[in-house]
């Protein structure tokens, strides 16, 4: 097999492009019923009564009284009910399912159900903290005391919707006392474990199979557990195949999104350097905590992004509001923080009236430096050459001089960033404990038994390549079917930029073992389990130590032109350099790069989502504006090799890295073009008009 980075056709490309691929919405069974969710119209209210019309023969309602086990969806923090019982906490909260054979009648019944609410006081502001984290590095108090000067700025980010092309959905059957769920999901075992708790049943009674996923971006990490639990309760009651597929508007209205955030950063400056930072980030968790605490962890750990600052006082809160719960989204808290930090470094340099580029370079993290959480950057950091290359490709320095003229309305912005690969802290070792199996059949075909999901990102192709190359077999001899919890061990959810590095690492190790012990015509099974590298030490209570075993690094340069009259922003070009350790397939990594920067840059200037009194205003693809091909700028991307010892062939994470730097790069470019500071994203023309009228510099 040629070098691992050389691209092969993605193994699922033909079926997908030709339209032959089957998604969960395409599946059907004889006797199948359709489910539709009855939802709260109130942001916060007590349910006084629910009046269900007389149900025709063969139609059912399913609600919290039908749950055999706990009425809570098992996530990281278990506070999210499967069905609302006496109180609703956000508009769109599920109250019951209506199930039956004819969609028209199901819809009529849904419309005829009358819920009597006693309104309660809703909260929409970020005031009610439900999670609070704090950590220090060094001695921030002394550094602030000794400072020549201090500067503080505030930053805000809005919602972001994953906007996967395929809405959420499941189909389920009930056979032989077993519940079998097939869904568009990122984490088969999250669903299985949640359903076991809700059903209070034997683990063997639940089988979860991943259907081909049409995009996820984190949106199918924890939310499908809720749907899976609801469907399981319905299957247990009705014992017929049931389909539960969301419509686009329903999906956008009720599923998890990126947390809106507010960040305040205060810097202590001495002799032209930032000696300490005091940072507080607040994120809007919505009505239930779910994963928000973990999102907050990643956000606060990203506090210094690609820089080193010796003294830190970092804290954060998750606030509960009566809005749709927010959750996992590519980047997982890091995009909010990295946006704020990158803007802050620029704003401080401007305040000090020093060259921004030199000022940033002074603070760039180096191998051997301590991370924000006092861990160690052990591996080489290629940022200096990656930055220089990105500047050369984009002609950054010439352009930033030329665009300093406020008349030209052009701007160029650059962001530097890192992304921790894998679960935060001891997550891999203590919570996930990934296991995989490599199974060789007598005919010589090798099956990857992993729970990792290919949601379009190319996991199947890359993991199969790792196995094929290690075994020295042609790719055709490797098999990787959509995970089925009856067949695959729990290798963890497909999240946190962990799949290539962690699961791929296990595949490489198993393949090495299989190769050594290979016996022709025999059925052989190799098991592997994740072992945390010895040197990784993490204290979750104090947030100190190595938050991640490895980091991927990146540089984005974005050039924009702003229309003088309307302040519309046109993104002209995006240049990027990335260190993802070792690319396992160049086209796949470049695909992640294009998609990630598209999503990250759009987060910074284009994608607007707001709510009014807890009701989302943007709930279809007309109103929630993501870039089209016409909006997408040209991209130029170069990859750097910097192999990580424990990743397969040196691979680190690539999935999230490519998103996290987009927003600050475009915001900085816009800032240069209009000559005013951008403190909030998305930097829409409406926002820029306001800034032009009210801001001073």
Partner 1 sequence: MVSHVIPKTYAEALTVLKAGNHRVIAGGTDMMVRHRAWAGLPPLFDKPVLFAFTLSELKYVKEDEQVICIGAMTDLETLLHHERTPALLRQVIAIMASPAIRYVSTLAGNIVNASPAADSLLALYALDAQVVLESTSGKRILSIEKTIVGPGKTVLHDDEMVAEIRIPKTRFTHTMFRKVGGRRADAITKIGFVGCATVNEGIIRDLRLVFNAVAPVVVREKSVEALHVGHSVKNVLSDTDTLMHHYSEHIKPIDDQRSNQHYRKEAALRLARHFLDTLA
Q: Residue numbers of the site for partner 1 (CB under 8 A)?
A: 25, 36, 103-104, 107, 245, 247, 564-568, 570, 606, 608, 610, 617-618, 622-623, 625-631, 685-686, 689-690
Burial of 105 (0-12, 13-18, 19+ CB in 10 A): middle
Residue 659 to residue 338: CA distance in whole angstroms: 11
Write out the DSSP string of 571-589.
EEEEEEEEE-SS-S-HHHH
Which residue's CB is nearer to partner 1, number 419 or number 618? 618
Which residue's CB is nearer to partner 1, number 553 or number 605? 605
Shortest CB 625 distance to partner 1, Å:
4
Which residue's CB is nearer to partner 1, number 481 or number 686? 686
Shortest CB 169 distance to partner 1, Å:
10
Shortest CB 105 distance to partner 1, Å:
11
Which residue's CB is nearer to partner 1, number 474 or number 629? 629
- Asked if 333 contacts 297 with a C-beta cutoff of 8 angstroms, the reply is yes
The token pair that represents 130 in the structure block:
């439900």
Residues with Cβ < 8 Å from 670, sequence gap 6 or more?
Answer: 411, 413, 560, 562, 569, 605, 678, 683, 688
Shortest CB 300 distance to partner 1, Å:
32
- The alpha carbon of residue 265 and the mean position of all alpha carbons in its chain are separated, in whole angstroms, by 24
In order of 293, 425, 548, the CA distances from 297 in angstroms are: 6, 9, 12
Which residue's CB is nearer to partner 1, number 120 or number 625? 625
In order of 133, 144, 577, the CA distances from 639 in angstroms are: 35, 39, 6
Which residue's CB is nearer to partner 1, number 111 or number 128? 111
Shortest CB 609 distance to partner 1, Å:
9
Which residue's CB is nearer to partner 1, number 195 or number 608? 608
Shortest CB 52 distance to partner 1, Å:
19
Integer-rounded Cα Rg, in Å, for the chain is 25
Which residue's CB is nearer to partner 1, number 96 or number 508? 96
- Asked if 336 contacts 281 with a C-beta cutoff of 8 angstroms, the reply is yes
Shortest CB 409 distance to partner 1, Å:
13
**What 3-state class would DSSP assign to 243?**
strand
Which residue's CB is nearer to partner 1, number 521 or number 630? 630
Which residue's CB is nearer to partner 1, number 80 or number 603? 603
Residue 449 to residue 483: CA distance in whole angstroms: 7
Which residue's CB is nearer to partner 1, number 627 or number 643? 627
Q: Which residues of 619-631 are buried (b: 16+ CB within 10 A; e: fewer)?
A: beeeebbbbeeeb
Which residue's CB is nearer to partner 1, number 103 or number 523? 103
Residues with Cβ < 8 Å from 497, sequence gap 6 or more?
Answer: 419, 421, 422, 552, 652, 653, 654, 655, 656, 657
Shortest CB 178 distance to partner 1, Å:
28
Shortest CB 210 distance to partner 1, Å:
22
Which secondary-structure segment (H or E) carries 671? helix 662-674
Q: Provide the angle, in degrees to the nearest 10, between the axes of the packed helices 334-352 and 586-605.
A: 60
User: Nearest 5°: CA angle at 261, between 255 and 265?
Assistant: 160
Shortest CB 217 distance to partner 1, Å:
19
Shortest CB 112 distance to partner 1, Å:
15
| DSSP state, residue 524 | E
Residue 218 to residue 496: CA distance in whole angstroms: 9
Shortest CB 252 distance to partner 1, Å:
12
Residue owning tokens 């669903």: 191
**What 3-state class would DSSP assign to 491?**
coil
């Amino acid at each position: 097999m040629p070098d691992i980075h050389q691209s092969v056709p993605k193994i699922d490309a033909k079926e997908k492009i030709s339209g032959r691929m089957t998604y969960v919405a395409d599946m059907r069974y004889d006797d199948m019923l359709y489910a539709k969710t009855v939802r709260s119209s109130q942001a916060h209210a007590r349910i006084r009564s629910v009046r269900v019309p007389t149900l025709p023969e063969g139609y059912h309602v399913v609600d919290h009284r039908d749950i055999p086990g706990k009425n809570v969806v098992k996530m990281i923090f278990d506070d999210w009910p499967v069905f609302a019982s006496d109180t609703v906490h956000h508009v769109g909260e599920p109250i019951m399912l209506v199930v039956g054979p004819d969609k028209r009648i199901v819809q009529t019944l849904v419309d005829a159900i009358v819920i009597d609410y006693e309104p309660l006081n809703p909260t929409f502001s970020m005031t009610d903290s439900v999670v609070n984290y704090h950590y220090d590095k060094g001695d921030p108090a002394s550094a602030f005391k000794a400072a020549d000067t201090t500067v503080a700025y505030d930053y805000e980010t809005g919602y972001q919707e994953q906007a996967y092309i395929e809405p959420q959905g499941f189909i389920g059957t009930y056979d032989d006392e077993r519940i079998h769920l097939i869904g568009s999901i990122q984490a088969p075992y999250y669903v299985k474990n949640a359903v076991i708790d809700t059903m209070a049943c034997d683990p063997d009674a639940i089988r979860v199979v991943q259907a081909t996923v049409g995009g996820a971006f984190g949106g199918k990490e924890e939310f499908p557990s809720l749907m899976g639990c609801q469907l399981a309760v319905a299957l247990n009651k009705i014992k017929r195949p049931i389909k539960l597929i969301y419509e686009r508007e329903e999906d956008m209205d009720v599923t998890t999104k990126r947390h809106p955030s507010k960040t305040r950063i205060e810097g202590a400056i001495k002799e032209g350097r930032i000696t300490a930072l005091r940072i507080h980030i607040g994120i809007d968790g919505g009505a239930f905590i779910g994963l928000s605490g973990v999102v907050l962890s990643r956000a606060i750990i990203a506090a210094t992004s690609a820089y080193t600052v010796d003294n830190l006082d970092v804290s954060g809160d998750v606030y509960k509001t009566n809005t749709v719960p927010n959750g996992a989204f590519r980047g997982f808290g890091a995009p909010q923080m990295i946006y704020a930090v990158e803007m802050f470094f620029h704003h401080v340099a401007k305040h000090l009236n020093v060259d921004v580029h030199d000022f940033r370079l002074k603070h760039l993290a180096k191998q051997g430096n301590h991370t924000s959480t006092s861990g160690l950057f052990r591996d080489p950091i290629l940022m200096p050459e990656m930055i220089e290359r990105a500047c050369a490709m984009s002609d950054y320095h010439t352009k930033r001089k030329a665009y300093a003229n406020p008349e030209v309305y052009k701007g160029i912005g650059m962001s530097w960033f890192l992304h921790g690969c894998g679960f935060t802290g001891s997550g891999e070792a203590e919570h996930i404990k990934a296991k995989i199996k490599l199974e060789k059949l007598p005919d010589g075909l090798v099956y990857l038994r992993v729970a990792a999901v290919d949601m379009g990102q190319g996991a199947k192709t890359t993991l199969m390549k790792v196995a094929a190359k290690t075994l020295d077999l042609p790719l055709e001899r490797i098999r990787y079917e959509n995970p089925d919890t009856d067949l695959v061990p729990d290798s963890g959810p497909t999240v946190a930029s962990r799949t290539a590095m962690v699961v791929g690492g296990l595949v490489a190790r198993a393949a090495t073992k299989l190769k050594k012990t290979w016996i022709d015509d025999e059925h052989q099974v190799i098991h592997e389990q994740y072992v945390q590298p010895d040197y990784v030490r993490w204290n979750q209570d104090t947030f100190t130590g190595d938050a991640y075993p490895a980091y991927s690094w990146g540089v984005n340069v974005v050039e924009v032109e702003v229309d003088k009259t309307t302040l519309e922003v046109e993104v002209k070009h995006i240049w990027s350099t990335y260190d993802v350790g070792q690319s396992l397939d160049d086209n796949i990594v470049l695909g992640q790069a294009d998609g990630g920067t598209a999503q990250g840059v759009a987060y910074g200037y284009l994608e607007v989502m707001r709510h009014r009194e807890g009701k989302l205003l943007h709930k279809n693809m007309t109103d929630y504006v993501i870039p089209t091909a016409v909006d997408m700028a040209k991209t130029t991307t170069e990859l750097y090799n910097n192999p990580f010892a424990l990743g397969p062939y040196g691979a680190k994470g690539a999935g999230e890295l490519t998103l996290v730097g987009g927003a600050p790069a475009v915001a900085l470019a816009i800032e240069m073009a209009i000559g005013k500071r951008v403190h909030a994203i998305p930097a829409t023309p409406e926002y820029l008009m306001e800034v032009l009228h009210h801001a001073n510099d």
